[in-house]
């Protein structure tokens, strides 16, 4: 059996919802970062769980790889068809299936984006908090254990998905979790699938926890003379137990880039961007405490975004930072790094990273979700300069090794994909073999997103 | 190879820390509830991870079952040696290994109890919040995904364990997770082991998240004329987003039993027992909102426990409720049920359970962690009355089926053990087979707590 046999079978089921057009293949073989174009053999557009199950059965018989595809916003090449096969694009499975407002839960299809969900929720008094910046699909966010700006308060996808429906490698449909807020009933398959990057199952339905829209919201920007002062302010804030909804760091280079891109007027200095959620009185009290901590660390140019449109502009500016940085140097490409360390090591980790980048003479703005100890450097590469790639990769590897030496992780939120596979053994040691054993148990034919997360056979 | 071969090998390694005394075997074959005595062949008392790994290697060679043992406070017979073998008692591995106060983390050995940990933390301004009532070991709490009175605010063990060291079935030592607050680096093996009830690995080291001791704490009891009113008050509280630290329900029979046992003077009515954590002003504000919601539901006899010793007495009374109920009927035994439903179905679930119990003519006080939709009935059995067992089991099964019909789970926190195994297929369907596949991948010889969580071979 071959991929061609699979395609014939899929065509019979899906008709013109199986695409082999060049533009479709290239869209589904591209990445937002530096990975080379790696197109699949075809793109399937299922409209139901039953169709996804049928696709899996046909592909399993033909030993044809199957790669889930959401919005394509991954930064580590999760969706690249490195062994060919079929991309399963969930864009036609993008409905809110059931809103259970009383239980503060919603059941959605995997192709729904987080912004579309929050748009549908806007009149309910509820919202879905996980915010990776990109308007990713909820299925993709679950598959990559996404988090982002609000994780410091509301947690990551691991804390905000209650239940899943998923299609296994042989086409079996399973349900994991329930509508209960907690359970001790057997292995936590929900959390096993969250972050498995499409290598264990395709997610076809998600039950999400919602939060009440806060009665009061306040946001602010605060500048610091030194990176270390800003980071020390973060550490003091977390240790004081202040319930920050967001606490983001950008360095001076990022401030300059976003000013040019978004028309903001931040001083070209390191900044914290913060947000408070709560009652009017608690927001006021929290903001006052934060203000004191920031003053202690020589924070300055404190600017409040008290109107909703100012806050929207603030977070849009933050979310567009990656594009702003890319635009700051014409014709460049980016290697985006992601590391996460215990909060006590954060200042040292950021400083050392800035030194590494300066030493190579690169532009590499640093920014991140520092309330979690998570930050990124966007290393700007001249694609024509052959040395640049190697230098940038060396910096990224050094950062990952430093994260491990500090007791942290090689990726706080971007995931493994193609970019971090070579670092998995260094982080997990023998536990990486356990991951491979789980993969072999659930996908013995290695057809679900092969080449990602684990090495087949468990060896390098 | 036989169990006897394993014992000879273990004796050589452990000397007199391998016990075969009758009293030791009986202690490690007993349960706090109704399960018959099921002793192991021996009890091992390791003092290090290396010894646990050695024990596993010896037992793997001899195909001798290995059962982890903490404080023995499980209510579902998790630790019973249904296929014989060796109980690994972690009581000599009970140290705090490393306090990282700046990161609000602590690394501990599995035999440390939660009360001992909080005793050690008392001068640090930090505490470990998960509180299942019993003074369980932290290893046991992780293995059973324990939760309890504070999960509504701080989450269960799944949200409060950052990293584990564990010994696999072949004696390999792995580390899962890291000191970072979040990670997207591969499969979430930490959460796979949490709740696996010792069937996938033995936990030898845990990194736990700590919380800041709240600046202000207030607790109160509030009586209601009807169960439904108390439960409706809970639902309103959760939906209002009030950050309750605890919100516990006890029915009139439980109030009567605890009065007799603990010397309290609660009106013999359904009650909510609540606690607020925060700043003095936020606690005051939260308590005022709760007071209004309770008044709306005809709450009465509101009593504040404002002094620390009053709060200690209040929660000791709650934690001893099981023993109080057992003592309320001389010579009785208990079947303790545990179910968890979406919060919108809680009133209906509690009412229906009370009706079921009344119909059979049983005493079966109801109480629980209702902020999570989680509650228990303690069904009191006359061990001499043969019908009682069957009747109580029928009620327990009806409750589990009702939980599933309401979109909930058969166990919110007590786990599967021996008591819920027959309900796993009804809850999980095909996903239960996936659990068996994971078990076969990680423990191909079926020596880790065999007979629990999954059916070997995946079939009934």
Average pLDDT score over residue span A249-261: 96
The answer to whether the Cβ–Cβ distance between B105 and A342 falls below 8 Å is yes
Check residue B432 and give its pLDDT.
98
The answer to whether the Cβ–Cβ distance between A435 and B187 falls below 8 Å is yes
Where does the pLDDT of residue B456 fall: very low under 50, low under 70, confident under 90, or very high at 90 and above?
A: confident
CA distance A425 to chain B (A): 11
Average pLDDT score over residue span B409-429: 97
Check residue A459 and give its pLDDT.
40
Residue B231 near residue B350, CB atoms below 8 Å: yes
Kindly report the CATH number assigned to the domain that includes residue A179: 3.30.465.10
pLDDT digits (tens, 9 = 90+) for A164-207: 999 999 999 999 999 999 999 999 999 999 999 999 999 999 99
Tell me which residue in B344, B373, B403 faces A100 most closely, judged by beta carbons: B344
Check residue B136 and give its pLDDT.
98
The answer to whether the Cβ–Cβ distance between A424 and B147 falls below 8 Å is no
Average pLDDT score over residue span B143-170: 97
Check residue B358 and give its pLDDT.
93
Tell me which residue in B103, B408, B430 faces A172 most closely, judged by beta carbons: B430
The reply to whether A385 and A318 lie within a common domain is no
- Domain presence at residue A116: yes
Q: Minimal Cα distance from A152: which residue of B? A: B181
Average pLDDT score over residue span B42-59: 98
The reply to whether B109 and B140 lie within a common domain is yes
Q: How many domains are contained in chain A? A: 3
The answer to whether the Cβ–Cβ distance between A192 and B196 falls below 8 Å is no
Check residue B457 and give its pLDDT.
60
Check residue A2 and give its pLDDT.
81
Where does the pLDDT of residue B311 fall: very low under 50, low under 70, confident under 90, or very high at 90 and above?
A: very high
Kindly report the CATH number assigned to the domain that includes residue A308: 3.30.70.2190
Average pLDDT score over residue span A51-67: 98
Average pLDDT score over residue span B342-357: 94
Where does the pLDDT of residue A460 fall: very low under 50, low under 70, confident under 90, or very high at 90 and above?
A: very low
The answer to whether the Cβ–Cβ distance between B182 and A372 falls below 8 Å is yes
The answer to whether the Cβ–Cβ distance between B340 and A186 falls below 8 Å is no
Q: How many CB atoms lie within 10 A of CB B200?
A: 26
Check residue A457 and give its pLDDT.
60
Where does the pLDDT of residue A431 fall: very low under 50, low under 70, confident under 90, or very high at 90 and above?
A: very high
The reply to whether B155 and B188 lie within a common domain is yes
Check residue A239 and give its pLDDT.
82
Boundary residue ending a domain (B307, B328, B349): B328
Share of chain B above pLDDT 90, in %: 89
The answer to whether the Cβ–Cβ distance between A453 and B186 falls below 8 Å is yes
pLDDT digits (tens, 9 = 90+) for B79-137: 999 999 999 999 999 999 999 999 999 999 999 999 999 999 999 999 999 999 999 99
Q: Is residue A39 scored above 60 in pLDDT? A: yes
Q: How far apart are CA A277 and CA A274, in angstroms?
A: 10
Where does the pLDDT of residue B458 fall: very low under 50, low under 70, confident under 90, or very high at 90 and above?
A: very low
pLDDT digits (tens, 9 = 90+) for A370-422: 999 999 999 999 988 889 989 999 999 999 999 999 999 999 999 999 999 99
Q: Is residue A9 scored above 50 in pLDDT? A: yes
Q: How far apart are CA A39 and CA A160, in angstroms?
A: 32
- Domain presence at residue A28: no
Kindly report the CATH number assigned to the domain that includes residue A346: 3.30.70.2740
Check residue B161 and give its pLDDT.
98
pLDDT digits (tens, 9 = 90+) for B202-218: 999 999 999 999 989 99
Q: Name the residue range of residue A158's domain.
A: 97-212
Residue B186 near residue A420, CB atoms below 8 Å: no
* Residues of B in Cβ contact (< 8 Å) with A442: 434, 437-438
* Residues of A in Cβ contact (< 8 Å) with B454: 186
Average pLDDT score over residue span B408-424: 97
**What CA–CA distances, in Å, run from A149 to A216, A249, A367, A372?**
18, 10, 11, 9
Kindly report the CATH number assigned to the domain that includes residue B85: 3.30.43.10
Residue B280 near residue B226, CB atoms below 8 Å: no
Task: Report how many Cβ contacts below 8 Å link chain A to chain B.
Answer: 272
The reply to whether A196 and A263 lie within a common domain is no
Residue A164 near residue A155, CB atoms below 8 Å: no
Boundary residue ending a domain (B399, B417, B435): B417
- Domain presence at residue A184: yes
The answer to whether the Cβ–Cβ distance between A431 and B175 falls below 8 Å is yes
pLDDT digits (tens, 9 = 90+) for B55-70: 999 999 999 999 999 9
The reply to whether B18 and B119 lie within a common domain is no
Interface probe with B: pick from A56, A107, A184, A416, most Cβ of B within 10 Å: A184
Q: Is residue A458 scored above 70 in pLDDT? A: no
The reply to whether A307 and A333 lie within a common domain is no
* Residues of B in Cβ contact (< 8 Å) with A443: none
Boundary residue ending a domain (A269, A302, A328): A328
Q: What is residue A394's three-state secondary structure? A: helix
* Residues of B in Cβ contact (< 8 Å) with A435: 186-187, 189
Interface probe with B: pick from A149, A181, A192, A452, most Cβ of B within 10 Å: A181
Q: Is residue B239 scored above 90 in pLDDT? A: no
The answer to whether the Cβ–Cβ distance between B285 and A285 falls below 8 Å is no
The reply to whether A291 and A364 lie within a common domain is no
The answer to whether the Cβ–Cβ distance between B156 and A434 falls below 8 Å is no
Share of chain A above pLDDT 70, in %: 99
Check residue A235 and give its pLDDT.
87
Q: Is residue A47 scored above 60 in pLDDT? A: yes
Q: Is residue B459 scored above 50 in pLDDT? A: no
Check residue B80 and give its pLDDT.
96
The reply to whether B191 and B109 lie within a common domain is yes
What is this model's ipTM?
Answer: 0.96
Cα dihedral angle (A328, A331, A335, A336), rounded to 10 degrees?
Answer: 40
The reply to whether A170 and A221 lie within a common domain is no
């Amino acid at each position: 059996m071959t991929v061609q046999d699979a395609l014939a079978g899929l065509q019979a089921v899906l008709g013109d919802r199986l695409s082999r057009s060049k533009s479709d293949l290239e869209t589904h073989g591209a990445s937002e970062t530096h990975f080379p174009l790696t197109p699949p053999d075809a793109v399937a557009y299922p409209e139901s769980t039953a169709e996804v199950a049928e696709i899996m059965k046909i592909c399993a018989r033909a030993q044809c790889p199957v790669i889930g595809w959401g919005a394509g916003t991954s930064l580590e090449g999760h969706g690249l068809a490195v062994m060919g096969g079929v991309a399963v694009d969930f864009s036609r499975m993008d409905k809110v299936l059931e809103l259970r407002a009383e239980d503060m839960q919603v059941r959605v299809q995997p192709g729904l984006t987080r912004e579309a969900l929050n748009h549908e929720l806007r009149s309910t008094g509820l919202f879905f908090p996980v915010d990776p910046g990109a308007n990713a699909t909820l299925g993709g966010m679950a598959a990559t254990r996404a988090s982002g700006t609000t994780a410091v308060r509301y947690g990551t996808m691991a804390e905000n998905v209650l239940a899943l429906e998923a299609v296994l490698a042989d086409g079996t449909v399973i349900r994991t979790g329930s509508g209960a807020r907690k359970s001790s009933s057997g292995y936590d398959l929900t959390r096993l699938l969250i972050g498995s990057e499409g290598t264990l199952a395709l997610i076809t339905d998600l039950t999400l926890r919602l939060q009440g829209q806060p009665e009061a919201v306040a946001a602010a920007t605060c500048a610091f003379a030194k990176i270390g002062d800003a980071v020390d302010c973060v550490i003091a804030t977390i240790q004081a137990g202040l319930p920050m909804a967001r606490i983001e760091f950008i360095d001076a280079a990022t401030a300059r880039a976003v000013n040019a891109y978004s028309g903001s007027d931040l001083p070209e200095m390191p900044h914290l961007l913060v947000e408070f959620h709560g009652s009017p009185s608690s927001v006021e009290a929290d903001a006052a405490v934060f203000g004191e901590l920031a003053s202690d660390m020589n924070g300055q140019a404190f600017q409040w975004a008290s109107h909703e449109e100012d806050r929207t502009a603030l977070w849009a500016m933050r979310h567009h930072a990656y594009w702003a940085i890319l635009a700051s140097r014409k014709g460049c490409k980016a290697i985006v790094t992601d590391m996460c360390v215990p909060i006590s090591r954060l200042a040292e980790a950021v400083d050392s990273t800035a030194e590494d980048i300066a030493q190579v003479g690169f532009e590499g703005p640093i920014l991140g979700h520092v309330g979690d100890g998570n930050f990124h450097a966007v290393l700007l590469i001249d694609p024509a300069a052959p040395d640049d790639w190697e230098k940038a990769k060396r910096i990224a590897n050094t950062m990952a090794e430093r994260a491990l030496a500090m007791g942290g992780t090689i990726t706080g939120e971007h995931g493994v994909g193609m970019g971090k596979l070579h670092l998995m053994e260094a982080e997990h040691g023998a536990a990486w073999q356990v991951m491979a054993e789980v993969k072999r148990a659930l996908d013995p034919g290695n057809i679900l997103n092969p080449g990602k997360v684990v090495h087949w056979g468990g060896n390098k």
